Amino acid sequence: IPHRWIHSGLWSWQRYGLGPENSLPLESSGDYTRELGSLRFADFGTNKTGDNLLNRVWYQPEEVFPVDGTPEERQHVFQVNVDTDYYRLAKALKNLKLERCINSTKCLQNTPRVNRESAGTSTSIYLDNAAYASFLFDKFNVTTVDMESAAVALVCYQQKVPFIVIRGLSNLAGRGDEADVFTPLVANNTVKVVVEFIKYFSPVEARSDA
């Protein structure tokens, strides 16, 4: 359960030979920025003496037009915090018992648990690359990657609607094919967490630990 969601799927991919000292295309008109930093592909190559042809990509915020903003006046948003009260309530889920096994022969090595984390990110890729996952953690403190949640976060920000995202993680980037085996288990555990979280909003189910 991340505290904030980052939309990391919007890039400006810089031409080979250009660097941090060079402006990005359309940057002068406010369409792009170097504020969020870049991914330099040469840092992940075997020859780290200089740039390679892939050069670097610069992360970009998304354009949003909030309902309470000036009409046709855009805002730029890279990350959105979940609702503070929802995130506080989610702390009570940390001891919820989750299932470890699909059946008598297929079990996870460790019992799943509910964690509140610093940040998650969404992009239009299936991330099964450990190096890129480590980069996202080092740069943005991201521990969760998916393809959908940041879109929900941005729409909620635009509409000024409180939200929280509860994700079930089915695999570790670059660590095998867990997703193919344990997706049903992850889905069932996630539903259990969501249902338990919703109970905190029912007067009948009110709890002292909330």
Question: What is the domain-level CATH number for residue 184?
Answer: 3.40.50.1580
Residue 123 lies in a domain: yes
Residue 7 lies in a domain: yes
Query: Which of 151, 132, 185, 190 has its CA nearest to residue 1?
Result: 190
What would the mean pLDDT of 135-145 be, rounded to a whole number? 95
Residue 50 has pLDDT above 80, yes or no: no
Percent of the chain with pLDDT over 90: 70
Q: Which domain holds residue 73?
A: 2-200
Residue 205 lies in a domain: no
Residue 24 pLDDT grade (very low, low, confident, very high; cuts 50, 70, 90)? very high
pLDDT score at 202: 62
Residue 7 pLDDT grade (very low, low, confident, very high; cuts 50, 70, 90)? very high
Residue 19 has pLDDT above 60, yes or no: yes
**Secondary element (H or E) of residue 63:** strand 62-64
Cα(88)–Cα(188) distance, integer angstroms: 23
Residue 18 lies in a domain: yes
Residue 204 pLDDT grade (very low, low, confident, very high; cuts 50, 70, 90)? very low
- pTM surpassing 0.85? yes
Total domain count, the chain: 1
Contact (Cβ atoms closer than 8 angstroms) between residue 27 and residue 21:
no
pLDDT score at 183: 87
In sequence order, which ranges of 99-206 are alpha helices (DSSP H)? 130-140, 149-159, 178-198
What would the mean pLDDT of 67-90 be, rounded to a whole number? 93
Residue 206 lies in a domain: no
Residue 210 lies in a domain: no
